[in-house]
């Protein structure tokens, strides 16, 4: 994978990473009320760092805490997932526009290379699940950072993507449309390479909107359940 040697130099960071991945993978079920002591024994932590991590996770909306009543993992609904995609649509549209204006030529070449490797993986067939999961994440990650908008990148990478990945695990998706998505990615990169911010924004919004509709249909057909 691209990033994350979780090399957390402090116990609280470690706790944060552990809990976050546990929530995303579903190891901690949504709606589950979980005690601090149990979390401590489960992840070999003490309560101090744990509480600090809980604070961070709460402020990111991955869990809720009622005073003296414990923490529970945030429960997720299909409607909320759709709302998430609506937010992504406008924010990543902005990211694409700013990326078109600000990415370096080298970054754009890297982005194109990324897509080439994705294509290879898809053609070698077995990589479809991978592509949908991490490859897609990689693509959007690069554009978010390429926007040179620190707060925007922080909100996308630090908040929204984790939520989306949480749903991905739950849906055990890979119910994707890799070829179509790859084509859409190519068009977006083309627009960025031509420094056409307006077009990049338009294409990105349409891309995410299509992904949203795809999931929505799958859910209504009962192919995917939450």
Partner DNA sequence: CAGCTCGATATTGTCAACAATACTTAAGGC
Partner DNA sequence: GCCTTAAGTATTGTTGACAATATCGAGCTG
> Which residues lie near DNA (CB under 7 A)?
10-12, 34-37, 45-49, 51, 65-71
Q: Taking CB within 5 to 8 Å according to partner kind, which of DNA, a second copy, none is near residue 165?
A: none
- Pick between residue 24 and residue 94 the one whose CB is nearest to a second copy: 94
Only one of the segments 32-40, 50-58, 120-128, 134-142 lies at the binding site for a second copy (rule: CB under 8 A); that segment is 50-58
Closer residue to DNA, CB minimum distance, 43 or 169: 43
Judged by beta carbon, residue 12 or residue 91, the one nearer DNA is 12
Residues 67-96 close enough to bind a second copy by CB under 8 A: 67, 80, 83-84, 86-87, 89-91, 93-94
**Is residue 12 involved in binding a second copy (CB under 8 A)?**
yes
Candidates 137-145, 148-156, 176-184, 189-197; binding stretch for a second copy (CB under 8 A): 148-156
Q: What is the 3-state secondary structure (H, E, C) of the chain?
A: CCCCCCCCCCHHHHHHHHHHHHHHHCCCCCCCEECHHHHHHHHCCCHHHHHHHHHHHHHCCCEEEECCCEEEECCCCHHHHHHHHHHHHHHHHHHHHHHHHHCCHHHHHHHHHHHHHHHHHHHCCCCHHHHHHHHHHHHHHHHHHHCCCHHHHHHHHHHHHHHHHHHHHHHCCCCCCHHHHHHHHHHHHHHHHCCCHHHHHHHHHHHHHHHHHHHHHHHHHCCCCC
Report the interface residues with a second copy, using CB under 8 A.
9-10, 12, 48, 51-56, 58-61, 67, 80, 83-84, 86-87, 89-91, 93-94, 98, 149-152, 154-155, 158-160, 163
């Amino acid at each position: 994978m691209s990033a994350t040697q979780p090399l957390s130099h402090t116990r609280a960071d470690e706790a944060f990473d552990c809990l976050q991945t546990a929530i995303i993978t579903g190891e901690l079920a949504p709606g589950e009320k979980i005690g601090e002591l149990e979390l401590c024994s489960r992840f070999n932590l003490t309560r101090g760092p744990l509480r600090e991590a809980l604070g961070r996770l709460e402020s990111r909306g991955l869990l809720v805490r009622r005073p003296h009543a414990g923490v529970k993992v945030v429960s997720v609904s299909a409607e909320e997932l759709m709302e998430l995609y609506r937010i992504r649509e406008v924010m990543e549209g902005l990211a694409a526009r700013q990326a078109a204006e600000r990415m370096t030529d080298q970054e754009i070449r890297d982005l194109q290379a990324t897509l080439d490797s994705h294509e290879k993986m898809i053609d070698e067939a077995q990589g479809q699940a991978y592509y949908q999961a991490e490859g897609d994440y990689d693509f959007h990650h690069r554009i978010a950072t390429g926007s040179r908008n620190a707060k925007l990148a922080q909100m996308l990478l630090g908040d929204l993507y984790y939520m989306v990945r949480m749903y991905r695990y739950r849906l055990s998706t890979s119910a994707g449309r890799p070829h179509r998505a790859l084509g859409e990615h190519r068009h977006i990169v083309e627009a960025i390479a031509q420094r056409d911010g307006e077009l990049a924004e338009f294409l990105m919004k349409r891309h995410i909107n299509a992904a949203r509709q795809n999931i929505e249909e799958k859910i209504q057909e009962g192919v995917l359940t939450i």
